[in-house]
């Protein structure tokens, strides 16, 4: 980024949330949001955020629930809670800290753009936070704590992780049973899919071909993305059209 961030050191326990985008800033008060670049008049303390926003749970099926802040907190990414039977796992993390959320064992990140209030959920519930090592190395990740920085795909409690890269160096998609968790690798524009416009678009598109390959032969019913759950066959038809574009 061309933005140069000036920061005033504050107590490590202090934390601020950008209401323009939902990014959490730990232990310092910046002159600009580290993610979206907005000004401090859009920052609130994490305590103010918890008082104003709550995390709403919307069922996707009997094992998966979407979590997002209500009212909407900037362009926060939706997170998804999976009850695997032997663990409670979050794919990504809400930007607002809400102690009424079901305690989780793990928080697995797709990428580093929105790490939410993961540090606070880790502290509250003892959750382990996992992210790809390349995204853990991003400057915006430096104030967050990670318990495991993986380098390749893995299996955890019935969840399959596949490292893709592209939109971010460490971007990872997840599968659980017949559901794909893809976050914002692709976005919706006028009811069609487009490649995420942030980051290196060429790398995003090239790695998108890998996603298409990974999806071959899989029998899926649902896609959970940055904002909603899709019927897989509808999403896949749109994705196939995107892949064909030059």
For residue 71, say if its preceding peptide bond is cis, omega within 30 degrees of 0. yes
- The sign of the dihedral angle between the CA atoms of 173, 176, 177, 181 is negative
Q: What is the pLDDT of residues 163-199, one digit of tens each?
A: 999 999 999 999 999 999 999 999 888 778 989 888 7
Task: Select from 220, 212, 214 the least CA-distant residue to 239.
Answer: 212
User: Is the separation of the CB atoms in 34 and 17 below 8 Å?
Assistant: no
Interatomic CA distance for residues 40 and 154, integer angstroms: 39
Tokens of 151: 């380098």
Q: What is the pLDDT of residues 86-118, one digit of tens each?
A: 999 999 999 999 999 999 999 999 999 989 999
Mean pLDDT of 146-152: 97
Q: What is the pLDDT of residues 17-46, one digit of tens each?
A: 999 999 999 987 889 998 999 999 999 999
pLDDT value of position 13: 62
- pLDDT exceeds cutoff 90 at 14: no
| Average pLDDT, rounded, for the chain | 92
Query: Beta-strand (E) ranges in the chain?
Result: 7-9, 15-18, 24-26, 28-30, 43-45, 54-59, 64-70, 79-83, 88-91, 106-108, 128-132, 148-150, 154-156, 159-163, 172-176, 179-183, 186-189, 192-195, 222-225, 229-231
For the purposes of burial, counting CB atoms within 10 Å of the CB of 54, is it exposed (0-12), middle (13-18) or buried (19 or more)?
middle
pLDDT value of position 10: 36
pLDDT value of position 11: 38
Interatomic CA distance for residues 163 and 142, integer angstroms: 21
The pLDDT-based confidence of 4 (bands split at 50, 70, 90) is: very low
Mean pLDDT of 188-214: 89
């Amino acid at each position: 980024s061309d933005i140069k961030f000036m920061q005033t050191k504050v107590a490590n326990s202090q934390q601020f949330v950008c209401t323009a985008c939902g990014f959490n800033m730990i232990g310092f008060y910046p002159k600009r949001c580290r993610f979206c670049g907005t000004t401090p008049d859009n920052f609130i303390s994490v305590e103010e955020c918890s008082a104003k926003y709550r995390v709403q749970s919307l069922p996707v099926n009997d094992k998966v629930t979407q979590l997002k802040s209500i009212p909407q907190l900037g362009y926060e990414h939706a997170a998804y809670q999976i009850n695997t039977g032997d663990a409670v796992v979050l794919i990504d993390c809400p930007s607002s800290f809400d102690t009424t959320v079901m305690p989780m064992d793990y928080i697995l990140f797709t990428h580093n753009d929105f790490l939410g209030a993961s540090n606070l959920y880790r502290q509250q519930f003892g959750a382990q936070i996992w992210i790809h090592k390349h995204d853990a190395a991003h400057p915006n990740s430096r104030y967050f704590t990670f318990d495991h920085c993986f380098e390749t795909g893995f299996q955890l409690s019935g969840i399959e992780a596949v490292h893709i890269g592209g939109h971010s160096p460490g971007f990872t998609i997840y599968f659980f049973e017949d559901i794909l968790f893809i976050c914002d690798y692709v976005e919706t524009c006028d009811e069609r899919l487009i490649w995420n416009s942030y980051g290196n678009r060429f790398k995003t598109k090239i790695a998108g071909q890998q996603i298409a390959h990974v999806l071959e032969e899989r029998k899926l019913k649902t896609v959970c993305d940055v904002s909603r759950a899709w019927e897989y066959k509808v999403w896949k038809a749109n994705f196939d059209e995107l892949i064909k574009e030059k």
